[in-house]
Copies of this chain bind each other. A is one copy, B any other.
Amino acid sequence: MPLSSADRSLVEPAIRRLNALRPLSPEARASFEYAMLEGVQRAGAGEDLICEGDHVDSVRIVLSGWLCRYKTLEDGRRQIVNFIFPGESCDAHAFLLPTMDHSIAALTPSVYADIKRARFDSLLAADHSLTEAFMCETLVNNAIQREWVINLGRRVAFERVAHLFCEIFERLRPVGMVEGNTCAMPVTQMDLADATGLSVVHLNRTLQEMRASELIVLRDRTLIVRDLDALKNAALFSAGYLQLYRGGRERE
């Protein structure tokens, strides 16, 4: 049974991204599309998909919406440790570990594909390119976490927020969620503060600074980057860690 065009566009970001990490064979692509479409689920804004300590036994691939990974301390301090954008997977292979070390929440209403562990394993077993694509995804994720460490450890507030915006921009671009110099920014300042390790008040003031220096416009849940190069300079941003250009080029 051929996929409808609605189905195809639903899973398109995920396929596009996997394919950028490793070129997929047509069969792998088709079987993965079917597997995703069989497990489509929805989550409302603010909903936790999975919590720290939970047992995992499926893989989720985000099809639309913004999610985040976060951790909290006993006294309520919260840190968003990463965002999850359409096309990205929540926890490929996470079922190899007994429990989640962090929680995942939907920041906006979201759609995702839920693929059970056994199914996922057999898909990967059938096609090595899929295995490698997911391995690459995990490695890139790891690189992103490292960049966040230096972001929080060594950049001042202004640089830090600028860096986050650059990263979001560059991660959304390959899945077609950037138009020109504009992308959606459907999260609260609270969320941005928790992602940058700042207080809401200071984040708000930092945003005002960025607007005043004419780097960005942020209004109505939309981010317009007025001068991307200047923003990247201010952020000391270098996109290498995202491995956007052929994660799998070399294969001597």
Contacts and interface: CB of A to CB of B under 8 A. Distances in A.
Nearest to A22: B96
A74 B94 CA distance: 35
Contact of A146 (B78, B82, B99, B139): B82
Interface stretch (A34-42, A151-159, A208-216): A151-159
Contacts of A102: 143, 146, 241
Interface stretch (A108-116, A183-191, A243-251): A243-251
A12 interface: no
Interface residues of A, number: 51
B101 A143 contact: yes
A142 B153 contact: no
A247 B97 contact: yes
Nearest to A53: B240
B96 A136 contact: yes
Contacts of A236: 73-75
**Which residue among A71, A101, A145, A149 has the maximum number of chain B CB atoms within 10 Å of its CB?**
A149
A60 interface: no
A19 interface: no
Given A145-B145, A249-B98, A138 B136 contact: no
A138 B145 CA distance: 13
B150 A153 contact: no
Given A153-B152, A153-B197, A154-B197, A97 B136 contact: yes
Contacts of A171: none
A79 interface: yes
A154 B77 contact: yes
10 contacts: A55-B250, A69-B146, A73-B236, A79-B149, A81-B150, A98-B249, A101-B146, A101-B147, A149-B152, A152-B152
Interface of A: 52-53, 55, 69, 71, 73-75, 77-79, 81-82, 93-94, 96-99, 101-102, 132, 135-136, 138-143, 145-150, 152-155, 196-197, 236, 240-241, 243, 246-250
